Structure 1
Amino acid sequence: MDTEQKMQCDIYCRAESDRIRHVSTVELERFINLLHKAEPNDYKNWVFKLCKEIIDQHSDFPVRMPLFEDVIFPVIWEGCRRNELGCARWLAGFN
């Protein structure tokens, strides 16, 4: 992730911790839009890193449905189709 994406990720996480739903929703949308502008390999690597943190290391990173549907799921689903290590486990871990 570039600096702008990292900053927006931090803003989103802070908004989630403040528990003001309409604010966190807006910040999540901004974050997703920035992620979609990332280089495909950087995007995939970030998703894989996030999945490792959430599923394997039990991170409490907030995953709302838009983040899962628009960012995480497409990457790990494609990884499953390509038999990439960890993808099936991560997909199963998001229950």
Structure 2
Amino acid sequence: MSTPQLDLWDAYLEAENHGLRSERTDALERFLDSFAELTQTGKHDWALTLASSIVDDGASTPIRMPLFRSVLLPALESAIAHRTPGAARWLAGFAQHIYKCSDLRPRLVDGTLAEHALLETALDHDPDDDHSRRKLLDLLVSRLNYTLHELPSGVLYGHDGASVDQCREMLEELDDFTRHADRLGLVGDYANLVAKCRFHYNTYSQYLTDRRGASCYADYLSQVSDA
């Protein structure tokens, strides 16, 4: 990025640190206007460097929505389309920004911009990307724990009780989780969680198929444990 844009970027960061909201907004608008004059390659490369510094290196650079929409999102989507290693992981790092964009909601619903899907895309583009694998594993741990947090009432899928097909789907996801954990040498760390999930996904599916006169899943579990 050339000197004029760098100066405006520094001025924006200074406004973020010390300025009023109006000063911050004006500084960002001036930067974005100047940024738009750069070559496509210049914009693309700078945006990817910024995204990487934030997601991978933990830089505390403030990313306001206009900056995300005008600078980061176009560059990251272009990089993903060209299978650039890391690009999908960087976009996943801005999941909260994506959720706030109403026009992107359909792509959240169909899964293409969901954090989980973006991390899987990152691994598809680079199977050796263990940074993305670790982030995906952490995300899956949260999902697995969530499915069990209403026990002994039942296994959850989203906000509702899981169906037989959904239990089967979660078992497949559990196999994916185990594969990723094994790649990272972390299978032992999650052995109890995996065993608990596998037991309840299978048992809850059986309960839905044949309740054996049980009044609820907790009652069914007591029958299983007594058998």
Query: TM-score when scaled to structure 1?
Result: 0.95
Unaligned runs of 5+ in 2: 96-227
Residue 64 of structure 2 corresponds to: 64
Q: Which amino acid aligns with 1:48?
A: L
Q: Which amino acid aligns with 2:55?
A: I
Pairing of 1:78-93 with structure 2 (within 5 A) = 78-93=78-93
CA RMSD of aligned residues (A): 0.9
Look at both structures and tell me which one has the larger radius of gyration over its CA atoms: 2
Deviation at 1:90, TM superposition (A): 0.4
Size of the aligned set, in residue pairs, is 95
- Cα shift readout 1:37-89 (whole Å, capped 9, x = no counterpart): 00111111101110111000000111100000111101101111221111100
Identity of matched residues, %: 35
Q: Which amino acid aligns with 2:62?
A: P
Counterpart-to-counterpart distance in 2, 1:67 and 1:73: 9
Q: Which amino acid aligns with 1:6?
A: L
Residue 53 of structure 2 corresponds to: 53
Unaligned runs of 5+ in 1: none
| SS at structure 2 position matched to 1:62 | coil
Matched, 1:13 2:7: no
Runs of 4+ in 1 over 6 A off after TM superposition: none
Which structure is richer in relative contact order (CA contacts within 8 A, separation 6 or more)?
A: 1
Residue 44 of structure 2 corresponds to: 44
Pairing of 1:27-38 with structure 2 (within 5 A) = 27-38=27-38
Query: TM-score when scaled to structure 2?
Result: 0.41
